[in-house]
Amino acid sequence: MAEAIKTISDYTVNFDKIRDDFPVLNQQVMGKPLVYLDNAASSQMPQTVIDRINRYHSSEHANVHRGIHTLSQKATDEFELARKKVQKLINAEYEHEIVYTTGTTDSINLVANSFGRKFFSEGDEILISEIEHHANIVSWQLIGEQTGAKLKVIPVNDDGELIWEEYVEALNENTAIVAITHVSNALGTINPVKEIVAEAHKHDIPVLLDGAQAAPHSKIDVQDIDCDFYAFSAHKMCGPTGFGILYGKEKWLEQIPPFRGGGEMIDKVTFEETTYNRLPYKFETGTPPIAAGIGYSTAIDYLNDIGMEQIAAREQELLDYGTEQLQKIEGLRIIGTAKEKASVLSFVFDDIHATDVGTILDQQGIAIRTGHHCAQPSMRRFDVPATARASLSFYNNKVDIDRLVEGIKKAKELF
């Protein structure tokens, strides 16, 4: 018998109390209590992460890996501890499959350049979907211009769901890699990534998953998914900006060349040739964002203390409530209505521009994002210039959604 899907009532986490962990939420904007609903762009940091970063700067600051003095060794130990935690968080087989980057975009660029330079040739196809973030489009276009590889796009239906038959048909002997989002940042669509990977692997085609919007909202198991690469960012997971992760299967990381050159990624350097460091360091050049890595290590602890399953259940409850409430507003149309969906509510009015809605909401202390969300092809697919996007996190509550609804109604009245 299949295990029942858990709901928030199955857990005892006090999410209202958790709000107190986030100092940024305890302020007023435009004279109103802040409602922060821009989590898809960047989540907030709990006080424990802020304190850990401050402690590093005030008493532990030193460069990592090459120093023999006490501070350097301590900084190195703390910085490398994050790698162990990430390995466990996403269930990677080996610690050296975790590569530090500056974020999801940097991770995708690393694979596009390193994998592309090694394996792409004229006539190859890079299979992506119609609802990708620009980072998972432009990176591949750039390497395609150098190698002759071309993008091939899988369409989505009117709900924002991948058209499976089109995907299966698109896989062929010319497909060099599948690069696809796990969760759409513009629509919230959750793609069936395990099935996507399995279908690609039938043809021995590797798969990169853009996990920027999935890793903060659900438990990720890269061995179960069996993806070849997985990219995500700290700043969407209660951590600092400027730090990200690329997971890559050992077999691929061993084969592909470094993306950048410099210190740390080397083994031996002469004027005639350079040999490279072992994994994962051959991809990590120069002084890294040390404070950000240590802060992210603490953010992982914080998320684990709550539990990713509990976070997913909480956010699903909020998403269901928010969807129900927004659908009651006359003239409002939700863009992205997939059956499997994460914490994004994108919406439009036919007679009010999204930017105007966002401006009125900001005047009421409500932070959302408006525009194309670095997903212009998605906007074109749904024939809208932009959407207003409210994106949820576990520290939000139904009061936040009620404030959002009242703010939207006020915008309607004004326009």
Residue-wise DSSP of 120-165: --TT-EEEEETT--THHHHHHHHHHHHH--EEEEE-B-TTS-B-HH
Residue 374 known to be catalytic: yes
Residue 180 bridge partners (DSSP): 209
Locate 137 and state its tokens. Answer: 């489009």
Q: Using an 8 Å Cβ cutoff, are 310 and 18 in contact? A: no
Q: Report in angstroms the alpha-carbon separations of 327 from 217, 316, 349.
A: 23, 16, 12
Return the structure tokens found at 313. 């259940």
Q: Which residues contact 368 (CB under 8 A, 6 or more apart)?
A: 37, 38, 357, 358, 361, 388, 389, 390, 391, 404
Catalytic pick among 29, 34, 374, 405:
374
Which of 345, 353, 344 lies closest to 412, judged by CA?
Answer: 353
Secondary structure class of 175 (helix, strand, coil): strand
Tally Cβ neighbours within 10 Å of residue 377.
Answer: 17
CB 294 within 8 A of CB 52: yes
**Bridge pairing between strands 150-154 and 125-129:** parallel
Residues 6+ apart with CB under 8 A from 415: 351, 352, 356
Position of tokens 């997985």?
A: 230
Centre a 10 Å sphere on the Cβ of residue 12 and count the other Cβ atoms it contains: 6
Q: What is the spatial distance between Cα 299 and Cα 82, in angstroms, rounded to a whole number?
A: 10
**Dihedral sign, CA of 26, 29, 31, 34?**
negative
Which active-site residues does the annotation give? 374
